């Protein structure tokens, strides 16, 4: 039996997914929830309370306690950890951990991970992707480099990205900065703990830092020096996601693991999800319909979004991937549902039957919250029709068509026609939304049965890197299609026209 473990360290918890790569079976799943299982960290949603709503930090020791707890669960459950042949992982992107030594200390199995790493932290907390406190740093970097940063690193300077976060720390806490000898992402930090060595940062997660040059796949010396004095010496090496970062440390024998098994370089949650939903090759896009909606896809060529809303990261299967985040996803769908006061059956099914594709040209810009794509700082609902006289079913079709059109408009910079789009997340169960996406994109819409795509993606990457099993074989075994919705070809001209009208409304 060849088992591979994928660890997913996300905002609210840590999960383990274990796959049997030969038989195509998910053989184990374990989960630690930070709020529920580690209440001593006072982080019910995975981050520490802060009087400044723009600041979002987590305690890295909480992640280490979660790792010990996750493995204890596996041991208590008598999971045969000794049969695991390789491990990789996924970290919430952009978050950073600051150490006062280049490598962790030799780990003593009689102590916990947290108590041994605590003295090595040069900064007690880790800013995470939800932090928005670096507007000044982003403005400074943008003033200095303009479009060059996007053209080299795949994204303009972004508040949650690690470079601006590092710059703020170096300026505001100079003593701690001088004492910092190594900066890790969440992914490379936890990978370093597993191998008890300094693990590299992969091209997937590294591209979320505003520091990695995606032309050379190495640190961009100019951006690194401009971000903070002495930064280059504090960064780990960069590596492809399929490299072996090191060997599992003897510390983990106490959970039954075999010390010395390969630990594959970790990546970010979005690059791992690309693999976990079986979309590592160009031609297939993924739409994740959650609180926010995200659109991502593998790309052969490195091209960037001229509007600066979409991001480019390294694809763990080689090449690149896009990531576009639409803040007003389920958030906006739920607001419209509340406005018209109907149940989910009406929203997800009936509304589409009572209306016609195109909805007589009705469109809306549903910015109930400030929007990332396109960048809108002042929230507000805008429509090209009289809201008060529209019927409930018309408003529901309108939000769905408008969201599909904004996704098509703001993913066009990739220059790909997607024949296949895989949908995941809560709202993907809506037949109306799936048909609208199929018609707007003129693509087949596939649903898949994957639950934790980031954790599964990490396990698949471990199997690919260690046993050299091709990704396509693993996708076939673990990410098969459950249902396909076909596009209506005759609606293509209608939605081409609506896209033009939507763009005009948005520009106005």
By CB under 6 A, tell whether 333 contacts ligand XUL: no
By CB under 6 A, tell whether 410 contacts ligand XUL: no
Residue 506's H or E segment, with its range, is: helix 492-507
Of 302 and 385, the one with the shorter C-beta distance to ligand XUL is: 302
Of 168 and 397, the one with the shorter C-beta distance to ligand XUL is: 168
CB of 454 to ligand XUL, least distance (A): 8
C-alpha neighbours within 13 Å on the C-beta side of residue 295: 28
Question: Per-residue contact track with ligand XUL, 299 to 328, x per CB under 6 A?
Answer: ------------------------x-----
CB of 205 to ligand XUL, least distance (A): 9
Q: From CA 272, how far away is CA 470, in angstroms rounded? A: 16
CB of 270 to ligand XUL, least distance (A): 5
CB of 225 to ligand XUL, least distance (A): 24
Of 208 and 276, the one with the shorter C-beta distance to ligand XUL is: 208
DSSP track, 211-278: -EETTTTEE-HHHHHHHSTT-GGGS--EE-TTSEEEE--GGGGGGTPPTT-EEEPPEEHHHHHHHHTT
Please check whether residue 295 is in contact with residue 326, taking contact to mean a CB–CB distance below 8 angstroms.
yes
By CB under 6 A, tell whether 57 contacts ligand XUL: no
Of 129 and 495, the one with the shorter C-beta distance to ligand XUL is: 129
The only residue of 15, 94, 184, 337 in contact with ligand XUL, by rule CB under 6 A? 94
Q: From CA 330, how far away is CA 343, in angstroms rounded? A: 15
* Contacts of range 277-280, beta carbons closer than 8 Å, 24 or more positions apart: 277/422, 277/424, 277/448, 277/450, 277/453, 277/457, 277/479, 278/422, 278/448, 278/450, 278/475, 278/478, 278/479, 278/480, 279/422, 280/315, 280/316, 280/317, 280/471, 280/475
Of 160 and 477, the one with the shorter C-beta distance to ligand XUL is: 160
Q: From CA 227, how far away is CA 141, in angstroms rounded? A: 8
Give the residue nearest to ligand XUL (CB). Answer: 93
CA distances from 503 to 304, 322, 357, 364 (A): 19, 21, 18, 11
CB of 8 to ligand XUL, least distance (A): 10
By CB under 6 A, tell whether 63 contacts ligand XUL: no
Question: Per-residue contact track with ligand XUL, 186 to 225, x per CB under 6 A?
Answer: ----------------------x-----------------
Cis peptide before 374 (omega within 30 of 0): yes
Of 133 and 270, the one with the shorter C-beta distance to ligand XUL is: 270
By CB under 6 A, tell whether 269 contacts ligand XUL: yes
Q: From CA 16, how far away is CA 31, in angstroms rounded? A: 6
The only residue of 180, 267, 270, 328 in contact with ligand XUL, by rule CB under 6 A? 270
Near ligand XUL in 128-167, by CB under 6 A:
129, 160
The only residue of 58, 81, 93, 452 in contact with ligand XUL, by rule CB under 6 A? 93
Q: Name the residues that contact ligand XUL, by CB under 6 A.
A: 92-94, 129, 160, 208, 268-270, 323
């Amino acid at each position: 039996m060849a088992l591979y473990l994928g660890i997913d360290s996300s905002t609210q918890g840590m999960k383990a997914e274990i796959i049997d790569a030969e038989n195509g079976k998910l053989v184990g799943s374990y989960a630690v929830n930070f709020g529920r299982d580690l209440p001593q960290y006072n982080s019910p949603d995975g981050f520490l309370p802060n009087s400044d709503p723009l600041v979002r930090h987590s305690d890295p020791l909480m992640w280490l306690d979660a790792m010990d707890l996750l493995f204890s669960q596996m041991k208590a459950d008598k999971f045969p950890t000794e049969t695991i042949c390789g491990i990789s992982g996924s970290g919430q992107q952009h978050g950073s951990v600051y150490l006062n030594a280049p490598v962790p200390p030799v780990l003593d199995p009689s102590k916990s991970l947290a108590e041994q790493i605590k003295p090595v932290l040069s900064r007690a907390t880790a800013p995470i992707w939800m932090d928005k406190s670096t507007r000044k740093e982003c403005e400074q970097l943008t003033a200095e480099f303009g479009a060059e940063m996007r053209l080299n690193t795949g994204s303009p300077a972004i508040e949650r990205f690690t470079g601006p976060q590092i710059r703020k720390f170096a300026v505001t806490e100079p003593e701690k900065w001088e004492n910092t000898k190594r900066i890790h992402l969440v992914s490379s930090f936890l990978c370093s703990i597993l191998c008890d060595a300094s693990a590299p940062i992969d091209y997937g997660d590294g591209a979320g830092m505003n520091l990695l040059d995606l032309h050379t796949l190495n640190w961009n010396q100019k951006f690194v020096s401009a971000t903070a004095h002495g930064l280059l010496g504090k960064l780990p090496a960069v590596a492809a996601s399929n490299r072996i970062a090191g060997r599992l440390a003897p510390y983990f024998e106490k959970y039954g693991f075999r010390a010395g098994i390969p630990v594959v370089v970790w990546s970010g949650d979005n690059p791992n999800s690309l693999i976990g939903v079986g979309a590592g090759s160009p031609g297939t896009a993924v739409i994740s319909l959650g609180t926010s909606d995200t659109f991502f896809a593998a790309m052969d060529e490195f091209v960037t979004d001229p509007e600066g809303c979409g991001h480019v990261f390294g694809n763990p299967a080689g090449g690149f991937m896009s990531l576009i985040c639409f803040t007003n996803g389920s958030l906006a769908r739920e607001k419209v549902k509340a406005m018209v006061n109907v149940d989910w059956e009406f929203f997800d099914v009936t509304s589409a039957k009572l209306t016609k594709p195109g909805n007589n040209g009705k469109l809306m810009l549903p910015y109930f919250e400030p929007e990332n794509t396109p960048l809108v700082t002042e929230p507000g609902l805008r429509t090209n029709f009289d809201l008060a006289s529209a019927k409930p079913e018309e408003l529901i079709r309108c939000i769905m068509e408008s969201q599909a059109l904004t996704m098509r408009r703001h993913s066009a910079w990739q220059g790909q026609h997607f024949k296949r789009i895989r949908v995941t997340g809560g709202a993907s169960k809506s037949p109306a939304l799936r048909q609208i996406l199929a018609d707007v994109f003129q693509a087949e819409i596939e649903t898949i049965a994957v639950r934790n795509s980031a954790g599964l993606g990490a396990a698949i990457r471990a199997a690919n890197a260690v046993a050299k099993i091709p990704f396509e074989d693993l996708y076939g075994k673990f990410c098969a299609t459950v249902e396909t919705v076909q596009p209506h070809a005759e609606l293509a001209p209608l939605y081409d026209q609506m896209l033009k009208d939507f763009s005009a409304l948005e520009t106005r």
